[in-house]
C-alpha cells in the first residue's frame, strides 16, 4: 500500500504541466473545432448551426471568394518553399558536408542567421529594400539586368512569389541543418566504397544519399507544410493585413486574422464562428497533409 502511494505521488510531478497544457492547448483547440458549428453575436456563440459556417465559407459568394483566394495563395506559398527553400536546403547541406573547418562553420552560421531574425524585421527590412522610392534592390537588379528592376511587391502578379522567396531566404537554414545532420549520420565507408567503384557524384547523391534521407525529406515537408499553413507575419509585414495588392498575397493566416479576429473589410466586425471554421479547416488540412506526407516518405524496405 505504501509502495502504491509512493508510486502514484509521481502524478504530482505531472500536474503543473498537465493543467497548463490542457487549459491552454487542448481546450482552446478543441473549442475552436466546436465553435465552428455555432453562430451568435460577438463571442457569445449560442446558436448551433451545423455545417452552415462551412457552407458559407465554401459557397457563399460574399465570403467564399476571399477564402478560396487565400487557400490557393497558401498553396503557392507552400510550393515555392518546397521548391526553393527545401531544394536549396538539400544543396547547402551537401556543400556544407564537404566544407569542413573554419569556413564550414562560417557558412553554416551565415545560412542560419536569417532564421534568428523576427519575421517582422525580415519583412519590414525587405519591404524597404524593395521600395522603388529608395531603390537599393532596384539599383542592384538594374545592374544585373534592366528587366529585373521592377516594383516586385507592387505587382499583383509578382508580389506573392516575391514574399514567398523572401520567406525562403529567411528559413532555408532549418532544412539545411536538418539535412546536414542526417547526411552526417550516414556511415563514411558507404561513400568510400562508392568512390572505389568509381561512382560519380550525381550517382552517390541519387542512389545513396537521397534514399537514406528520404524520411528526413518527409520531416522537412511536414515542417514546411505546418509552418506555411499557419504563416501570417511575413504577409502582414510586407503586404499588410489585406494581403495587398488586391488580396494577391492574402493567405489563410491573414484571412483568418481578418475574418475571425479583426473583422473583414468593409464590415469591420469579426465573425467568430467563421473564424473558428477557418481554424478548424487549417487543422484538418494539417492533419491530412501530415498523413499524406508520412505515407509518401516512409522508409521502404
Residues 12-51 within binding reach of other proteins (CB under 8 A): 13-14, 16-18, 20-21, 23-25, 27-29, 31-32, 35, 43
144 part of the interface to other proteins, by CB under 8 A: no
Contact residues for 245 (Cβ-Cβ < 8 A; gap 6+): 154, 155, 156, 159, 239
The 10 Å Cβ neighbour count of residue 133 is 7
Distance set, CA 5 to CA 19, 31, 215 (Å)? 21, 35, 43
Are the C-beta atoms of 211 and 100 separated by less than 8 Å?
Answer: no
143 part of the interface to other proteins, by CB under 8 A: no
How many residues bind other proteins, per CB under 8 A?
88
160 vs 238, beta carbon nearer other proteins: 238
Which 239-268 residues touch other proteins, going by CB under 8 A?
253, 256-257, 260-261
Which 191-210 residues touch other proteins, going by CB under 8 A?
201
C-beta pairs of 272-275 under 8 Å, 24+ apart in sequence: 272/35, 272/40, 272/42, 272/43, 272/45, 273/35, 273/36, 273/38, 273/39, 273/40, 273/45, 273/49, 273/53, 274/53, 274/56, 274/57, 274/63
160 vs 236, beta carbon nearer other proteins: 236
Which 155-194 residues touch other proteins, going by CB under 8 A?
169, 173-174, 177-178, 181-182
93 part of the interface to other proteins, by CB under 8 A: no
Give the x-and-dash track for 265-284 against other proteins (CB under 8 A). Answer: -------x--xx--xx-xx-
292 part of the interface to other proteins, by CB under 8 A: no
289 part of the interface to other proteins, by CB under 8 A: no
Amino acid at each position: 500500500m505504501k509502495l502504491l502511494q509512493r508510486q502514484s505521488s509521481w502524478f504530482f510531478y505531472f500536474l503543473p504541466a498537465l493543467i497548463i497544457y490542457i487549459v491552454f492547448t487542448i481546450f482552446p483547440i478543441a473549442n475552436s473545432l466546436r465553435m465552428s458549428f455555432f453562430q451568435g453575436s460577438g463571442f457569445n456563440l449560442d446558436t448551433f448551426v451545423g455545417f452552415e459556417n462551412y457552407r458559407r465559407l465554401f459557397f457563399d459568394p460574399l465570403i467564399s471568394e476571399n477564402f478560396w483566394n487565400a487557400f490557393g495563395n497558401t498553396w503557392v506559398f507552400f510550393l515555392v518553399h518546397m521548391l526553393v527553400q527545401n531544394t536549396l536546403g538539400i544543396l547547402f547541406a551537401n556543400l556544407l558536408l564537404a566544407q569542413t573547418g573554419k569556413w564550414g562553420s562560417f557558412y553554416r552560421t551565415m545560412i542560419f542567421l536569417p532564421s534568428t531574425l523576427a519575421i517582422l524585421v525580415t519583412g519590414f527590412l525587405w519591404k524597404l529594400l524593395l521600395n522603388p522610392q529608395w531603390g537599393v534592390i532596384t539599383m542592384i537588379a538594374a545592374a544585373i539586368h534592366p528587366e529585373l528592376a521592377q516594383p516586385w511587391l507592387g505587382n499583383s502578379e509578382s508580389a506573392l512569389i516575391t514574399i514567398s522567396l523572401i520567406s525562403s531566404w529567411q528559413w532555408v537554414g532549418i532544412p539545411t541543418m536538418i539535412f546536414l545532420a542526417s547526411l552526417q549520420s550516414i556511415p563514411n565507408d558507404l561513400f568510400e566504397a562508392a568512390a572505389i567503384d568509381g561512382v560519380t557524384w550525381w550517382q552517390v547523391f541519387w542512389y545513396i544519399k537521397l534514399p537514406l534521407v528520404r524520411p528526413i525529406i518527409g520531416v522537412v515537408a511536414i515542417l514546411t507544410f505546418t509552418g506555411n499553413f499557419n504563416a501570417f507575419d511575413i504577409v502582414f509585414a510586407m503586404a499588410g493585413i489585406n494581403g495587398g495588392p488586391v488580396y494577391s498575397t492574402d493567405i489563410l493566416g491573414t484571412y483568418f486574422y481578418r475574418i475571425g479576429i479583426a473583422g473583414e473589410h468593409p464590415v469591420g466586425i469579426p465573425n467568430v464562428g467563421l473564424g473558428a471554421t477557418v481554424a478548424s479547416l487549417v487543422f484538418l488540412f494539417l492533419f491530412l497533409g501530415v498523413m499524406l506526407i508520412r505515407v509518401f516518405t516512409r522508409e521502404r524496405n
